[in-house]
Structure 1
Amino acid sequence: MRKSLVALSVLAATALPAAVNAADYSDDIHKNDYSWSQFNLMYAFDELPGESSHDYLEMEFGGRSGIFDLYGYVDVFNLTEDKDSDKAGSNKLFMKFAPRVSLDGLTGKDLSFGPVQELYLATLFNWGGGPNDDVNNYFVGLGSDVEVPWLGKIGLNLYGLYEMKDKKWNGYQISTNWFKPFHFFDNGSFLSYQGYIDYQFGADEKDIPGVGELKTTSGGAMFNGLYWHSERYAVGYGMKLYNDVYTLKDGGVAGKTSGVGHYISVTYKF
């Protein structure tokens, strides 16, 4: 729920060189394979919905193996079991799992055109760690890697959303993510602008009789991060802009769902 990918992550800096020619399957489909993983110690300020401020540990991973592209993470909340934490008494875990399958690799054809470097069958799974009323959403659609000015290669995916609890399709999500190193230091470390956008639309409105509005037809979030990276460490700040996030109506039953949240993180890369 915190990061999205749209099925691709904000790639770790060490993964970027390996991913540049990922669409070339002419001789060996595994020649561009790579993997990465890292631990992020995070603190969120005024995260929406709920204006929650809390600590959490994020175990983040990704990579490439032949025609398969993967991004994911597991969040563990309230590490010290602080009774005064905004996450006290809440579910302990959240997981995002976003595999994509290259259609170029699957068909053996070069499907690139214009700025589009590669096409994918894109999927995304959001799983909460609580009881049956927790998050359990599946997304499937068309994914791509697209070359854009200045930012370079971004992930861009369009999904249909299947709500597993309700056993129904409910709207769409468009997602993009980017990782742009923009200033390099003499010691090899660098600054990057990295982030993502997740925007849902075409969803069903939902009211709770006698209580008020719960869901609206569209909503999303944009994360803008400034990070310092070295080979093994990263430190960063992110600003997240919310607008009816998760299509929860701002000022309705879910409370405040539009506004600004802030994140700080310290990372160790494996």
Structure 2
Amino acid sequence: MRALLLAGLVATPAFAGLQWQDNSLSYLYGQNFKVNADTQQTLTFEHVSGWDFGDLFFFTDGTRFNGVQGDNTTYYGEFSPRFSAGKLSGKDLSFGVVSDLLLATTYEFGEGDVNTLLVGPGFDLKLPGFDFFQLNFYKRLPRGSKNRDGETFQITPAWKMSFPVGDSQVVFDGFIDWVVDNDGSYHANLHINPQLKYDLGPAVGLAKNKLFVGIEYDYWKNRFGIKDTDAFRTDQSVTNLLVKYHF
């Protein structure tokens, strides 16, 4: 219910200050996952928008664990507004490759005790070849049970690159979450999650940037912050099949 309420909030264009927005639904299928079921299917709703105060990214995953009896579904999401010093001050704060300075925040939510606030400085960078490149530094503040211990730090770059191919394009985008310096029950971990997609829309009578097919690679060392051991493997390397529709 919490995920549905947040999705309705960010999808409402009537709020003052909304400059632009994009929404999408993705279907992913992959095998060789760790911790949960080996085979998983995920439906993801994503929203990204620009506002007078900065920008906003939101996603929620609904995942089905194939071959699992009983409780075989779960959900996870993130709500990530960033507050732009340039927009709020009305001044050009760019220098070098930095185009803007921001206060980056994220709320992670999900089933069980997944309940974490993140806050820290963010930077928009102008790098050759990139449509955009963001670099955010967070202090992680767990709000769940004591088993989600360890106030620690996270570094999160996110990017997009697009390459023309005839009347269409190939898009390479994604993010990295690097949680550092914590050896408690929530262990330091590295999550690398890029997508490589072909814009199929023009070939089937749709506009560009509507329908994509491709793959999502999911590498996660110490998945969910659980330390990888010989007795319980948590280091994950999965290639998902991907279909994504923007609206």
With the shorter chain as reference, the TM-score category is: 0.7 to 0.9
Q: Do structure 1's residue 164 and structure 2's residue 143 form an aligned pair?
A: yes
Q: 1: distance between equivalents of 2:87 and 2:69?
A: 43
| TM-score (normalised: structure 1) | 0.74
Which one of the candidate residues 206, 213, 217 is aligned to 1:235? 213
1:143 counterpart (104, 122, 131): 122
- Maintained 8 Å contact 1:95/1:127: yes
Name structure 1 gaps, 5 residues minimum. Answer: 1-28, 207-214
Q: 1:46 aligns with which of 32, 42, 56?
A: 32
CA spacing shift, 1:266–1:160, aligned 2, 3 Å:
same
- 1:184 Cα deviation after fit: 2.5
Structure 1 runs of 4+ off > 4 angstroms? 166-169
Q: Report if the CA contact (8 A) 2:62-2:73 is conserved.
A: no
For residue 97 of structure 1, what is the aligned residue in structure 2? Answer: 79
Could you tell me which runs of 5 or more consecutive residues in structure 2 were left unpaired when the two chains were aligned.
1-15, 202-207
Looking at structure 2, the residues matched to 147 and 48 of structure 1 have their Cα atoms a distance apart, in angstroms, of 36
* CA–CA distance in structure 1, aligned partners of residues 69 and 100 of structure 2: 40
Q: Deviations over 1:157-183 (max 9, x none)?
A: 000000002487611000011111123
RMSD: 2.5
Structure 1 residue 74 corresponds to structure 2 residue 63: no
Q: Tell me which residue corresponds to 2:237.
A: 260
1:152 deviation in Å? 4.5
| Correspondent of 1:34 among 20, 35, 59 | 20
Distance of 1:38 and 1:252 partners within structure 2: 39
- TM-superposition CA deviations, 1:13-68 (whole Å, max 9, x none): xxxxxxxxxxxxxxxx96x9210101111213223444632112111111112113
Kindly, what percent of the aligned residue pairs are identical?
25
State TM-score, norm by structure 2: 0.80
Using the alignment, how far apart are the partners of 1:47 and 1:172 within structure 2?
25
Q: Is the 8 A contact 1:250 1:258 kept in 2?
A: yes
Q: Match for residue 10 of structure 1?
A: none
Shift of 1:199: 0.2
Alpha-carbon distance in structure 2 between the residues aligned to 1:185 and 1:201:
42
Answer 1 or 2: higher relative contact order, Cα 8 Å, separation at least 6: 1
